[in-house]
A and B are shown apart, each in its own frame.
Chain A
Amino acid sequence: MLHIVNKSASERSSLDSCLKLAIKGSAVLLIEDAVYAVTKGNTAAAKIQAAQADLKIYALGPDLAARGMAGRVLDGVNVVDYGGFVDLVAEHSNCQSWL
């Protein structure tokens, strides 16, 4: 399953809930304000790193760049553009947005 999270982890619990309920092997794509969670020094960074054991973590590059965060991404996080976003949706048989 592809999980899409769009709110900042420091504003909303969506990322926490997603990581709690995403089955092993799922992909999690962070878009919009959620991208801050994959930046070095963010309080969510440890959660992201722990989640990488079971989940593939992606972040939308244009949203990182729009927030001045492109150079600060945690190791192991896959940065994708909108083409990659489309591919992720196509490649996974189902998707779920955590709003």
Chain B
Amino acid sequence: MSDMDMEDDGSGIVKKFMFLNRKAPHGTVYALEGLEVVLITAAFDQDVSLVFTDDGVYQLMKGIDTKGIEVKDFSKTYRALEGYDIEKLYVDRSSMEARGLTEDDLIVDVTVMSDDEMKSLMAEQDVVISF
């Protein structure tokens, strides 16, 4: 059975789903397995936002090379999200600045938000899945 064969649940309900990514890649599995949930969600025609905050912003770094640690490099999958109509990727400026990062360091286009903008985005979600 393939997860990708699933279709939408047929109810016609569209909810705002937010996936909250706060952890760096590779030190734990959450970035990889979180991304797998996002890909499945694409088949359900929901209003999907991905938020990368705290160490989650590190998931989007350019120049990732996992050969030395001999684990799968899934970083290019973030670029494939657009092809699944998952285009709302948000990072907060304060998390980027605290890590010396700018948008140029990231592998995909994102919307950079202030804390106030991020607060409002989170408050308006119907479903938040945290990893």
Contact = CB atoms under 8 A, between A and B. Distances in A.
A1 B122 contact: yes
A99 interface: yes
Chain B interface SS verdict (over half): mixed
B123 A26 contact: yes
Contacts of B126: 93-94
Contacts of B125: 94, 96
B122 A21 contact: yes
A95 B128 CA distance: 7
A95 B130 CA distance: 10
A97 B118 contact: no
B119 A22 contact: yes
B127 interface: yes
B131 interface: yes
A23 B123 CA distance: 7
Contacts of B18: 96
A96 B131 contact: no
Interface residues of A, number: 16
A20 B94 contact: yes
Interface in A17-74: 17, 20-23, 26
B2 interface: no
Nearest to B16: A94
A99 B130 CA distance: 7
A7 to B, nearest CB: 11
A13 interface: yes
Nearest to A25: B123
Interface in B80-116: 92, 94, 115
Contacts of A22: 119, 122
19 contacts: A1-B123, A14-B22, A17-B22, A20-B115, A21-B53, A21-B115, A21-B118, A21-B119, A22-B122, A23-B122, A23-B123, A26-B123, A93-B126, A94-B128, A96-B125, A96-B128, A97-B128, A98-B20, A98-B22
Nearest 6 CB-CB pairings of A with B: A96-B128, A23-B123, A23-B119, A97-B130, A1-B123, A99-B130
